[in-house]
Amino acid sequence: MASFGDFPPETPSARLLILEDDVLLVSSLEELLSDSGFDVVGTVGSAATALSLAEERQPELALIDIRLVGPIDGIELARQLRDRFQIPAIFLSGLADPETRERALLAQPLGFLRKPYRASEVFNTIQRALSAEHN
């Protein structure tokens, strides 16, 4: 264990929240992240659940599907997580039309993962995001 509860950025164990409504994708992503040493504090499919879970479990980073079902999409959710709890986001997205991407940038994400993504891409994107947040 690192002393003073401070982990160097290259050490996995960051607390992650996954927001994705595709159940198969969630389970494979959760397994990948857990196996890599990350602490997945929750997997949810709706923005409302995500906000209450974020407040309760205080993740360091949220992986958010841009297209969430419900009144709040992933972009708006990312903005709220950042504004209310200082939780940054990485967007998961199968679509990358210029309009959506432009709107997504307003939420100041720390990264984008285009579906389908490889395990190494997920890991590297999270590591870069965490390094950026700790600097």
pLDDT at 70: 81
pLDDT for 12 beyond 80: no
105, 107, 108, 109: CA torsion to nearest 10: -90
b/e per residue 61-72 (b: at least 16 CB within 10 A): bbbbbbbbeeeb
95 confidence band (pLDDT: 50, 70, 90): low
pLDDT at 51: 95
> Phi and psi dihedrals of 15, rounded to 5?
-85, 120
CB atoms within 10 A of CB 16: 24
pLDDT at 11: 52
Please state at what angle helix 119-134 crosses helix 23-35, rounded to 10 degrees.
60
132 confidence band (pLDDT: 50, 70, 90): confident
Q: To the nearest whole percent, how much of the chain has pLDDT over 70?
A: 89
Q: To the nearest whole percent, how much of the chain has pLDDT over 90?
A: 59
pLDDT tens column, 34-91: 998 999 999 999 899 999 999 999 999 999 999 887 889 999 999 999 999 999 999 9
